Amino acid sequence: MTVVDCNLGLGGHASHILKAIGSEGMLYAFDLDERNIAVAESRLRKIGDNFRIFHDSFASLTDRLRREGVSQVNAVLFDLGLSSPHIDDPCRGFSFLHDGPLDMRFDASSGLMAADLLRTTPEKELADIFYKYGEERASRKLAKAIVEDRSRIEFNSTLQFARYVERVLGRGRPGKHRATKIFQALRIAVNEELSALELGLDQAVECLAPHGHVVVLSYHSLEDRIVKRHFKFRSTDLRDPTDPFGSRVLVSKTLSLLTKKPIIPSDEEINKNKRARSARLRAAEKL
Ligand SMILES: C[S@@+](CC[C@H](N)C(=O)[O-])C[C@H]1O[C@@H](n2cnc3c(N)ncnc32)[C@H](O)[C@@H]1O
Protein backbone atom coordinates (compact mmCIF):
# COMPACT_ATOMS: atom_id res chain seq x y z
CA MET A 1 0.00 0.00 0.00
CA THR A 2 1.30 3.45 -0.94
CA VAL A 3 0.24 6.41 1.21
CA VAL A 4 0.95 10.14 0.98
CA ASP A 5 0.99 12.34 4.09
CA CYS A 6 0.78 15.86 2.71
CA ASN A 7 1.42 17.54 6.09
CA LEU A 8 4.08 15.56 7.90
CA GLY A 9 4.45 18.03 10.81
CA LEU A 10 6.13 16.25 13.69
CA GLY A 11 5.21 12.89 12.21
CA GLY A 12 2.29 12.00 14.50
CA HIS A 13 0.00 10.68 11.75
CA ALA A 14 2.94 9.45 9.68
CA SER A 15 4.17 7.15 12.48
CA HIS A 16 0.75 5.53 12.70
CA ILE A 17 0.60 5.19 8.92
CA LEU A 18 4.07 3.65 8.76
CA LYS A 19 3.14 1.08 11.40
CA ALA A 20 -0.17 0.32 9.65
CA ILE A 21 1.27 -0.22 6.15
CA GLY A 22 4.06 -2.52 7.40
CA SER A 23 7.40 -3.05 5.68
CA GLU A 24 5.77 -3.85 2.31
CA GLY A 25 4.15 -0.42 2.08
CA MET A 26 5.60 2.95 1.15
CA LEU A 27 4.96 6.35 2.69
CA TYR A 28 5.64 9.64 0.89
CA ALA A 29 5.44 12.76 3.03
CA PHE A 30 5.55 16.50 2.42
CA ASP A 31 6.30 19.45 4.66
CA LEU A 32 7.50 22.99 4.09
CA ASP A 33 9.14 23.22 7.51
CA GLU A 34 12.64 21.77 7.70
CA ARG A 35 12.68 21.74 11.50
CA ASN A 36 9.48 19.71 11.65
CA ILE A 37 10.86 17.36 9.02
CA ALA A 38 14.01 16.72 11.10
CA VAL A 39 11.94 15.79 14.18
CA ALA A 40 9.53 13.63 12.16
CA GLU A 41 12.29 11.87 10.27
CA SER A 42 14.09 10.66 13.39
CA ARG A 43 10.75 9.53 14.79
CA LEU A 44 9.92 7.57 11.62
CA ARG A 45 13.41 6.00 11.41
CA LYS A 46 12.65 4.18 14.66
CA ILE A 47 9.73 2.46 12.91
CA GLY A 48 11.10 1.68 9.46
CA ASP A 49 12.87 3.06 6.42
CA ASN A 50 10.13 2.61 3.83
CA PHE A 51 9.38 6.32 3.58
CA ARG A 52 10.54 9.33 1.59
CA ILE A 53 10.16 12.91 2.77
CA PHE A 54 9.99 15.96 0.48
CA HIS A 55 10.83 19.42 1.78
CA ASP A 56 8.26 20.88 -0.57
CA SER A 57 4.65 21.97 -0.83
CA PHE A 58 1.98 19.37 -1.44
CA ALA A 59 1.13 21.57 -4.41
CA SER A 60 3.99 19.65 -6.10
CA LEU A 61 2.43 16.27 -5.29
CA THR A 62 2.16 14.71 -8.74
CA ASP A 63 5.43 16.15 -9.93
CA ARG A 64 7.33 14.73 -6.94
CA LEU A 65 5.63 11.33 -7.22
CA ARG A 66 6.24 11.17 -10.96
CA ARG A 67 9.93 11.77 -10.39
CA GLU A 68 9.89 8.81 -7.97
CA GLY A 69 8.26 6.68 -10.68
CA VAL A 70 4.94 6.53 -8.78
CA SER A 71 1.77 7.03 -10.81
CA GLN A 72 -0.89 5.84 -8.36
CA VAL A 73 -1.29 5.78 -4.58
CA ASN A 74 -3.87 4.23 -2.26
CA ALA A 75 -4.44 7.06 0.20
CA VAL A 76 -3.68 10.75 0.60
CA LEU A 77 -3.98 12.60 3.91
CA PHE A 78 -4.05 16.37 4.44
CA ASP A 79 -3.80 17.82 7.95
CA LEU A 80 -3.75 21.49 7.08
CA GLY A 81 -2.26 24.58 8.62
CA LEU A 82 0.01 25.14 11.56
CA SER A 83 1.77 22.69 13.82
CA SER A 84 2.26 23.20 17.57
CA PRO A 85 5.88 24.47 17.25
CA HIS A 86 4.65 27.21 14.92
CA ILE A 87 2.31 28.50 17.62
CA ASP A 88 4.57 27.82 20.60
CA ASP A 89 7.85 29.21 19.25
CA PRO A 90 7.65 33.04 19.28
CA CYS A 91 10.54 33.21 16.77
CA ARG A 92 8.22 31.88 14.02
CA GLY A 93 5.98 34.93 14.30
CA PHE A 94 2.60 33.20 14.07
CA SER A 95 1.34 34.15 17.51
CA PHE A 96 1.09 37.40 19.44
CA LEU A 97 0.90 35.74 22.84
CA HIS A 98 4.65 36.31 23.04
CA ASP A 99 6.72 38.80 21.11
CA GLY A 100 8.61 37.67 18.02
CA PRO A 101 9.51 38.70 14.48
CA LEU A 102 6.52 39.11 12.14
CA ASP A 103 7.53 36.16 9.97
CA MET A 104 4.78 33.47 9.58
CA ARG A 105 6.50 31.44 6.87
CA PHE A 106 6.11 27.66 7.11
CA ASP A 107 9.28 27.44 5.06
CA ALA A 108 11.67 29.71 6.95
CA SER A 109 14.23 29.32 4.15
CA SER A 110 12.35 31.15 1.40
CA GLY A 111 9.62 33.61 0.46
CA LEU A 112 8.30 36.86 1.87
CA MET A 113 7.60 37.30 5.58
CA ALA A 114 4.39 38.88 6.91
CA ALA A 115 6.43 42.02 7.71
CA ASP A 116 7.45 42.23 4.02
CA LEU A 117 3.81 41.96 2.93
CA LEU A 118 2.80 44.80 5.26
CA ARG A 119 5.68 46.91 3.96
CA THR A 120 5.13 46.39 0.23
CA THR A 121 1.56 45.29 -0.58
CA PRO A 122 -0.68 47.95 -2.21
CA GLU A 123 -3.61 49.16 -0.08
CA LYS A 124 -6.39 47.48 -2.08
CA GLU A 125 -4.61 44.14 -2.12
CA LEU A 126 -3.93 44.37 1.62
CA ALA A 127 -7.62 45.08 2.28
CA ASP A 128 -8.56 42.06 0.12
CA ILE A 129 -6.21 39.84 2.15
CA PHE A 130 -7.82 40.95 5.44
CA TYR A 131 -11.33 40.61 4.02
CA LYS A 132 -10.97 37.34 2.11
CA TYR A 133 -8.67 35.42 4.41
CA GLY A 134 -9.61 36.99 7.75
CA GLU A 135 -13.29 37.78 7.01
CA GLU A 136 -12.55 41.16 8.64
CA ARG A 137 -15.29 43.69 7.88
CA ALA A 138 -13.10 46.68 8.69
CA SER A 139 -10.45 45.46 6.23
CA ARG A 140 -10.31 48.73 4.26
CA LYS A 141 -9.91 50.86 7.37
CA LEU A 142 -6.95 48.77 8.55
CA ALA A 143 -5.27 48.62 5.12
CA LYS A 144 -5.60 52.40 4.75
CA ALA A 145 -4.06 53.02 8.18
CA ILE A 146 -1.17 50.63 7.50
CA VAL A 147 -0.35 52.21 4.14
CA GLU A 148 -0.49 55.70 5.68
CA ASP A 149 1.68 54.74 8.65
CA ARG A 150 4.22 52.39 7.12
CA SER A 151 6.66 55.09 6.03
CA ARG A 152 7.23 55.97 9.70
CA ILE A 153 6.32 52.74 11.52
CA GLU A 154 8.16 49.50 10.81
CA PHE A 155 5.81 46.59 11.42
CA ASN A 156 8.24 43.89 12.36
CA SER A 157 7.16 42.44 15.70
CA THR A 158 4.09 40.35 16.47
CA LEU A 159 3.13 42.14 19.69
CA GLN A 160 3.70 45.58 18.21
CA PHE A 161 1.50 44.75 15.18
CA ALA A 162 -1.24 43.16 17.32
CA ARG A 163 -1.36 46.31 19.47
CA TYR A 164 -1.44 48.47 16.33
CA VAL A 165 -4.45 46.50 14.99
CA GLU A 166 -6.24 47.02 18.29
CA ARG A 167 -5.45 50.71 18.21
CA VAL A 168 -6.87 51.10 14.67
CA LEU A 169 -9.87 48.78 14.92
CA GLY A 170 -10.68 48.94 18.63
CA ARG A 171 -10.84 46.09 21.12
CA GLY A 172 -12.38 42.76 20.07
CA ARG A 173 -15.15 40.83 21.79
CA PRO A 174 -14.22 39.50 25.25
CA GLY A 175 -11.97 36.47 24.82
CA LYS A 176 -11.16 37.29 21.18
CA HIS A 177 -8.31 39.65 20.33
CA ARG A 178 -9.00 41.99 17.41
CA ALA A 179 -5.78 40.84 15.71
CA THR A 180 -6.67 37.11 15.65
CA LYS A 181 -8.39 37.22 12.25
CA ILE A 182 -5.76 39.59 10.86
CA PHE A 183 -2.99 37.20 11.86
CA GLN A 184 -4.90 34.34 10.22
CA ALA A 185 -5.26 36.40 7.04
CA LEU A 186 -1.58 37.30 6.88
CA ARG A 187 -0.54 33.70 7.52
CA ILE A 188 -2.77 32.43 4.70
CA ALA A 189 -1.38 35.08 2.34
CA VAL A 190 2.28 34.55 3.29
CA ASN A 191 2.05 30.80 2.68
CA GLU A 192 -0.45 31.00 -0.20
CA GLU A 193 -2.38 28.37 1.69
CA LEU A 194 -5.67 28.36 -0.19
CA SER A 195 -4.19 28.13 -3.68
CA ALA A 196 -1.87 25.34 -2.47
CA LEU A 197 -4.92 23.49 -1.13
CA GLU A 198 -6.78 23.77 -4.47
CA LEU A 199 -3.73 22.45 -6.32
CA GLY A 200 -3.02 19.73 -3.78
CA LEU A 201 -6.61 18.44 -3.78
CA ASP A 202 -6.71 18.27 -7.58
CA GLN A 203 -3.48 16.31 -7.70
CA ALA A 204 -4.44 14.02 -4.81
CA VAL A 205 -7.61 12.94 -6.61
CA GLU A 206 -5.72 12.58 -9.88
CA CYS A 207 -3.10 10.21 -8.45
CA LEU A 208 -5.45 8.05 -6.36
CA ALA A 209 -5.89 4.43 -7.49
CA PRO A 210 -9.49 3.13 -7.80
CA HIS A 211 -10.98 2.74 -4.27
CA GLY A 212 -8.17 4.91 -2.88
CA HIS A 213 -9.11 7.40 -0.16
CA VAL A 214 -8.44 11.10 0.27
CA VAL A 215 -8.90 12.47 3.79
CA VAL A 216 -8.68 16.16 4.71
CA LEU A 217 -8.47 17.70 8.17
CA SER A 218 -9.08 21.44 8.05
CA TYR A 219 -9.17 24.01 10.82
CA HIS A 220 -11.11 27.01 9.57
CA SER A 221 -14.15 27.66 7.41
CA LEU A 222 -12.19 28.96 4.39
CA GLU A 223 -10.30 25.67 4.06
CA ASP A 224 -13.35 23.54 4.80
CA ARG A 225 -15.39 25.39 2.16
CA ILE A 226 -12.75 24.61 -0.49
CA VAL A 227 -12.66 20.93 0.46
CA LYS A 228 -16.45 20.68 0.55
CA ARG A 229 -16.81 22.36 -2.86
CA HIS A 230 -14.05 20.27 -4.39
CA PHE A 231 -15.49 16.98 -3.16
CA LYS A 232 -19.00 17.96 -4.26
CA PHE A 233 -17.80 18.91 -7.75
CA ARG A 234 -15.80 15.68 -8.15
CA SER A 235 -18.63 13.48 -6.87
CA THR A 236 -21.25 14.84 -9.29
CA ASP A 237 -21.58 14.03 -13.01
CA LEU A 238 -21.24 17.14 -15.16
CA ARG A 239 -24.26 16.98 -17.51
CA ASP A 240 -24.71 18.67 -20.86
CA PRO A 241 -26.95 21.71 -20.23
CA THR A 242 -28.01 21.71 -23.91
CA ASP A 243 -29.31 18.14 -23.74
CA PRO A 244 -33.14 18.42 -23.49
CA PHE A 245 -33.32 15.18 -21.46
CA GLY A 246 -30.47 16.26 -19.21
CA SER A 247 -28.98 12.79 -19.32
CA ARG A 248 -25.86 13.25 -21.43
CA VAL A 249 -22.83 13.20 -19.14
CA LEU A 250 -19.94 15.42 -20.26
CA VAL A 251 -17.59 14.62 -17.40
CA SER A 252 -18.19 11.62 -15.12
CA LYS A 253 -17.76 11.90 -11.38
CA THR A 254 -14.51 10.53 -10.00
CA LEU A 255 -15.21 10.49 -6.27
CA SER A 256 -17.78 9.04 -3.92
CA LEU A 257 -18.23 10.90 -0.62
CA LEU A 258 -17.44 8.97 2.55
CA THR A 259 -18.57 11.85 4.78
CA LYS A 260 -21.77 13.68 3.82
CA LYS A 261 -21.13 16.10 6.70
CA PRO A 262 -17.72 16.84 8.20
CA ILE A 263 -16.69 14.77 11.21
CA ILE A 264 -15.95 16.97 14.21
CA PRO A 265 -14.05 16.09 17.40
CA SER A 266 -15.93 14.81 20.44
CA ASP A 267 -15.94 16.80 23.71
CA GLU A 268 -13.65 14.16 25.14
CA GLU A 269 -11.12 14.70 22.34
CA ILE A 270 -11.32 18.49 22.70
CA ASN A 271 -10.70 18.16 26.45
CA LYS A 272 -7.57 16.13 25.70
CA ASN A 273 -6.38 18.40 22.90
CA LYS A 274 -7.77 21.96 22.85
CA ARG A 275 -6.16 22.69 19.48
CA ALA A 276 -8.40 20.05 17.86
CA ARG A 277 -11.56 22.03 18.65
CA SER A 278 -11.96 23.57 15.21
CA ALA A 279 -11.01 20.43 13.22
CA ARG A 280 -13.29 19.23 10.40
CA LEU A 281 -12.62 15.93 8.67
CA ARG A 282 -13.93 15.15 5.18
CA ALA A 283 -13.13 12.00 3.23
CA ALA A 284 -13.87 10.60 -0.22
CA GLU A 285 -13.16 7.45 -2.25
CA LYS A 286 -11.92 7.36 -5.83
CA LEU A 287 -14.30 5.55 -8.15
C1 LIG B 1 -1.28 20.46 11.47
S2 LIG B 1 0.43 20.29 11.07
C3 LIG B 1 0.58 18.58 10.71
C4 LIG B 1 0.70 17.69 11.91
C5 LIG B 1 0.99 16.25 11.54
N6 LIG B 1 -0.10 15.67 10.78
C7 LIG B 1 1.31 15.41 12.75
O8 LIG B 1 0.60 14.42 12.97
O9 LIG B 1 2.27 15.71 13.45
C10 LIG B 1 0.54 21.00 9.48
C11 LIG B 1 1.90 20.91 8.82
O12 LIG B 1 1.73 21.18 7.44
C13 LIG B 1 2.83 21.92 6.97
N14 LIG B 1 2.36 22.61 5.76
C15 LIG B 1 1.54 23.67 5.66
N16 LIG B 1 1.29 23.96 4.38
C17 LIG B 1 1.97 23.05 3.63
C18 LIG B 1 2.10 22.81 2.23
N19 LIG B 1 1.49 23.57 1.32
N20 LIG B 1 2.87 21.78 1.82
C21 LIG B 1 3.49 20.99 2.73
N22 LIG B 1 3.41 21.17 4.07
C23 LIG B 1 2.65 22.18 4.51
C24 LIG B 1 3.21 22.83 8.12
O25 LIG B 1 4.57 23.21 8.04
C26 LIG B 1 2.93 21.91 9.34
O27 LIG B 1 4.10 21.24 9.73
Model pLDDT for residues 136-160, shown as the tens digit of each residue:
999 999 999 999 999 999 999 999 9
Mean pLDDT estimate for the chain: 96
Mean pLDDT of the region 252-258:
97
User: Residue 283 is which amino acid?
Assistant: A
Which amino acid residue places its CA nearest to atom 7 of ligand 1?
A: 12
Angle between helices 193-207 and 180-190 (to 10 degrees): 50
User: How much of the chain, in percent, has pLDDT values that exceed 90?
Assistant: 94
Is pLDDT of 4 > 90? yes
Clarify whether residues 199 and 66 are in a common domain: yes
Note the pLDDT of residue 145: 98
Whether 93 maps to a domain, the answer reads: no
218 ligand 1 Cβ < 6 A = no
Model pLDDT for residues 26-84, shown as the tens digit of each residue:
999 999 999 999 999 999 999 999 999 999 999 999 999 999 999 999 999 999 999 99
Whether 132 maps to a domain, the answer reads: yes
Clarify whether residues 170 and 203 are in a common domain: no
Clarify whether residues 79 and 205 are in a common domain: yes
223 ligand 1 Cβ < 6 A = no
Which uninterrupted H or E stretch holds 74? strand 73-79
Name the band, by pLDDT with cuts 50, 70 and 90, for residue 133: very high
User: How much of the chain, in percent, has pLDDT values that exceed 70?
Assistant: 100
What range defines the domain where residue 139 resides?
108-190
The CA–CA distances, whole Å, from 216 to 152, 202, 246, 267, 284 equal 43, 13, 32, 20, 9
Among residues 190, 207, 242, the one where a domain terminates is: 190
Is pLDDT of 99 > 90? yes
Clarify whether residues 183 and 210 are in a common domain: no
Note the pLDDT of residue 114: 98
Note the pLDDT of residue 244: 87
Distance 146 CA to ligand 1 centre (A): 30
Note the pLDDT of residue 172: 79
In the sheet with 73-79, reading across from the earlier edge strand, the strands are 51-55, 26-31, 2-5, 73-79, 208-218, 280-286, 255-257
Note the pLDDT of residue 55: 98
* CATH number reported for the structural domain that contains residue 153 in this entry: 1.10.150.170
158 ligand 1 Cβ < 6 A = no
Note the pLDDT of residue 173: 83
Note the pLDDT of residue 72: 97
Model pLDDT for residues 188-243, shown as the tens digit of each residue:
999 999 999 999 999 999 999 999 999 999 999 999 999 999 999 999 999 999 98
Whether 99 maps to a domain, the answer reads: no
Among residues 145, 163, 190, the one where a domain terminates is: 190
Whether 97 maps to a domain, the answer reads: no
The number of folded domains in the chain is 2
Among residues 143, 161, 190, the one where a domain terminates is: 190
11 ligand 1 Cβ < 6 A = yes
Work out the angle at residue 138's Cα, subtended by the Cα atoms of residues 97 and 89, and round it to the nearest 5 degrees.
Answer: 15
Radius of gyration of the chain, Cα coordinates, nearest whole angstrom: 21
Clarify whether residues 202 and 276 are in a common domain: yes
